[in-house]
Structure 1
Amino acid sequence: MIGEIIIFKKIPQIAGFLLLFGLIVILVLNINDTPKTENRTESDKASNFKLSTLDGYEIELNEFKGKGIMINFWASWCGPCKREMPLIQKVYNEYKEQDFEILAVNVGESKEAINNFLNDNPLLNFPILLEDESISNEYKVYYLPTTYFINADGDIVEHYVGELNEDQLHRFIESILP
């Protein structure tokens, strides 16, 4: 009888645990089902924008017409963003002499947070741009990192959500080089 009472008292705890576990499983399955890459079948033109670097220099996307462009939306608090930055630098060094440019658009952080990140990663030498979230809204950035690959004609060729590996970076960059 006492054993039955103890079991009945634990039923709400067990039910709560099972409910929480089920919600976590559903969340994980939905995240993994999210498409990571979107290969464009019809040409979508990249929207022009003008953003500032940390030192106040303005960069306009249209300045790079005729080049392959990779736009990476990131934040310093984003683990996958931080992990892929050294790899992005590596491929930038490999392709920068081939009519190719990388623009790293920081989403919604202060200059101080970005500078702290750059102090910890002093070898990054591609343009880091500041934005007020209007550009990330225009480009439909819902998760970080999100990366767009734009060809020399200004067409969005690839759109990738998530951390990129080296093979993916090479494949996507090769697809946009003039």
Structure 2
Amino acid sequence: MDKKKKRLIVRGAILLILAAAIVFALTSKKETKVLAVGDKAPNFELLNMDGEKVKLSDYEGQGVFLNFWGTWCPPCKKEMPYIEKHFKEFTNKGVQVLSVNIGESEFKVDTFINQYELTFPVLIDKNKSVSRNSYNVVPLPTTMLIDKNGVIKKIITREMSEAEIVSLMESIQPE
């Protein structure tokens, strides 16, 4: 066999392997469902800043203001003081705040918590399993309002004003 035929066979084999790899990658990709209003909120378990496990299901029967954020996100920085300001008032009315930081170090998150004097539960989604795989969160901030039955009532994918945060918290108060 001459050099040209060998080269052609080797190139053909390489192209066949590459094509098979591309087909495999495209067909085996796990589809992440995009959540919508009316869907049951997927349960999750993350650690809070004290290293304690927190599950969404722990808050069954209460409204949950589920906020995904990052320390580098300017809109997140703007709305955090408003969430903090109304956190205690609404906790007494059956609305819980769960704040999920997406993939940052505990040091960065702790520095942010201290800077903004946050007292509500802050969870860290270190490997982004909740934000990406369960909730398919893309822009930050993203806030999901979950009613006492665990159903998503509203999804906000932008910065919220103080008045809007109050109104949204009121909307998921259990009766």
Q: Which amino acid aligns with 1:54?
A: M
TM-score (norm 2): 0.75
Deviation at 1:176, TM superposition (A): 1.1
Deviation at 1:166, TM superposition (A): 1.8
Partner of 1:172: 168
Cα shift readout 1:31-57 (whole Å, capped 9, x = no counterpart): xxxxxxx983xx210000000011211
Partner of 2:120: 126
Q: Distance in 2 between matches of 1:115 and 1:100?
A: 24
Partner of 1:147: 143
Contiguous gaps of at least 5 residues in structure 1:
1-37
Contiguous gaps of at least 5 residues in structure 2:
1-34
Q: Distance in 2 between matches of 1:63 and 1:99?
A: 13
| 1:102 pairs with one of 85, 97, 106 | 97
Q: Which amino acid aligns with 1:96?
A: T
| 1:57 pairs with one of 52, 55, 68 | 52
Q: Which amino acid aligns with 1:173?
A: M
Contact map agreement 2:79 2:162 (CA 8 A) in 1: no
Deviation at 1:145, TM superposition (A): 0.4
Ranges of 4+ aligned residues in structure 1 off by more than 3 Å? none
Q: Distance in 2 between matches of 1:94 and 1:157?
A: 21
Partner of 1:160: 156
Partner of 1:111: 106
Deviation at 1:164, TM superposition (A): 0.7
| 1:82 pairs with one of 70, 77, 82 | 77
- Percentage of identical aligned residues: 39
Deviation at 1:173, TM superposition (A): 1.5
Q: Over aligned residue pairs, what C-alpha RMSD do you find?
A: 1.4
Contact map agreement 2:64 2:147 (CA 8 A) in 1: yes
